[in-house]
Structure 1
């Protein structure tokens, strides 16, 4: 298994187990030690990983950092761990700040087993920066983040190369946060920049308020269009393959005379791709399939008709989506456009989580009954 697959598998493990991991010690054992192992270090070899690492500092005697990764007898990475049930904060990193300048370590990690924050000394030598240069959520890792993380693997670790990209990573991440903030809550200056270029008159407070909503809506639609277009291009072959393999579609025995009973439209395929783009953050896209019928277009988990994620009713003038609650009761909601599918993202994600949680629960019960 390559590094990318191993990290994504660990992310899936965290999602499945986090409801049962409720203490800091359990977080270390279930999430963080496996993470260190995937970086190529033997967590049971004190020449590579030292748990409860001690480096006395002035009057601070006996304080411990949860883990220190060792190379040539000296620490290169310090790791401070917290329980995943609580958010991380600067206060959580107080010991890392103290230990950083007292050891030879040039990198430190603050983590709760889900979020990982990587620090170094870009601002002032031998003094840990207050802001991390690399942050990720292991349950939602992007390929680009995995490539950056790979640089910390034992076989790839090169201090100079990492430092050379750390500055760029830090400012890129800060810019992304700023862009995200502006897109979700546009500032007056941000809105004015666009409003002045298209509004012929003076930008009053009333106009500013109007353009704030228009700016936010325009960026959301633009980003959604980009996502849909890219997914349509990248997944077109996969969708065509599923169309050929899926039962109840027009190229099978569903034709009366010369007219097909079932026709899978481009709009239905577009809707399917949007739902895929929403769900790919928590499950592999190959687990999401569709089955077309005469009156609706079903999107399923694991090609199982007992795990219907949603239904698209696009064969009439009034388009609707059918959403399912925990009791599999369907509720139909009208859509004014395909973009409206994004507004139901939380419900779609929750539906998939419910199916997976039931699967985990069933497997646990099976194991328990087998043991008995």
Structure 2
């Protein structure tokens, strides 16, 4: 499943899918087959299913059946990137599809975004959405877990998918946000600057516009079991979020950037708090100034390839049809300094070393051609 998701992700990023049939055949049916559905049996996976044959000719793009008498899932497929332009209209379509033949789940997808609705619960249809997946941005393990949980034939057939969806819909907004964020938080605590688990959870949720307290984060972590895709040792959640401040010294020409956290980073007018992303920004500006890939390779030591990629550490260079593979922080920072000097770009970075560094608590500044 992961290999298929990675392949689809790469093809989405490189604009392989140009119409709804591409989405239906090359993404949706491909995933459904992997999830246990017999896509060659129209009694099980029915395209252009008439939802009310006695009343009108309204058809849903795909209907999935685990028995011979009622649909289990309706899937409405849209052109890539066109879901949110007319989301309320599409939701009304699905609401109408479910009036006579109510499926357990209804799904809206453009191949990249998958919105899951628990059709059989009460209330406005828009409020029945219990999960949204983004095949381009979400973690592949999370995508795999939720597709298996809510869309595998076995889980729908044995009722587990419906039970899980029902439980998910009863969660509060904060609980939903914490459930979505906890896998990423558990991964972040394994990476510099090694935040505590409550701190990581709070910061991730804050990015979605929701605020939770440290007590709420700790209580949620204490009462939430680790899922099978999150087999990471959980730290002591009683760790304090903030540490006692240490004396601060400034370093303008540091060469060791392990265990650093960027407080403020800027190349020209673009900002980031990631060494690798700052390097990508510098590459973008260097290309804008007329540099070629050969020129870049003569200055910096990183992997760059043509196309938009999101796997194996590759991420796209902003506004360019190139991707750069992540490197460790010291290598990224040193390459960044070399490139901005050669390209005569402005660079300003404030950073600090975190607790695992011999320089823990100290701050550094890199300032090149910056006011």
- Scaled by the length of structure 2, the TM-score of the pair is 0.51
Distance 1:44 1:4, change over 3 A: same
CA distance in 2, matches of 1:15, 1:307: 11
Q: Report matched runs for 1:1-372 at 5 Å.
A: 3-16=1-14, 18=15, 20-56=16-52, 59=55, 61-73=56-68, 74-88=70-84, 89-121=87-119, 123-124=121-122, 128=125, 130-142=127-139, 143-151=141-149, 152-158=151-157, 160-170=159-169, 174-175=173-174, 183=206, 266-267=256-257, 274=274, 298-301=301-304, 312-314=332-334, 320=337, 322=339, 330=343, 332-338=345-351
CA distance in 1, matches of 2:143, 2:172: 11
Q: Specify the SS of the correspondent of 2:79.
A: coil
CA RMSD of aligned residues (A): 4.7
Q: Do 1:120 and 1:129's aligned partners in 2 also have CA atoms closer than 8 Å? A: no
Distance 1:167 1:181, change over 3 A: farther
Larger Rg: 1
CA distance in 2, matches of 1:112, 1:307: 24
CA distance in 2, matches of 1:169, 1:301: 41
Q: Do 2:66 and 2:153's aligned partners in 1 also have CA atoms closer than 8 Å? A: no
CA distance in 2, matches of 1:144, 1:172: 18
Q: Specify the SS of the correspondent of 2:63.
A: strand
Greater CA deviation, 50-59 or 77-86? 50-59
Deviation of 1:309 (Å): 6.2
Equivalent residue pairs, number: 240
Unaligned runs of 5+ in 1: 195-232, 235-263, 280-294, 340-372
Distance 1:274 1:67, change over 3 A: same
Distance 1:323 1:86, change over 3 A: farther
Q: Specify the SS of the correspondent of 2:47.
A: strand
- Scaled by the length of structure 1, the TM-score of the pair is 0.51
Q: Specify the SS of the correspondent of 1:29.
A: helix
What residue is the counterpart of 1:344 in the other structure? none
Which of structures 1 and 2 has the larger relative contact order (alpha carbons within 8 angstroms, sep 6+)?
Answer: 2
Unaligned runs of 5+ in 2: 179-201, 215-231, 234-253, 263-272, 280-297, 306-312, 315-321, 353-371
CA distance in 1, matches of 2:90, 2:152: 25
Q: Do 1:67 and 1:79's aligned partners in 2 also have CA atoms closer than 8 Å? A: yes
CA distance in 2, matches of 1:4, 1:137: 14
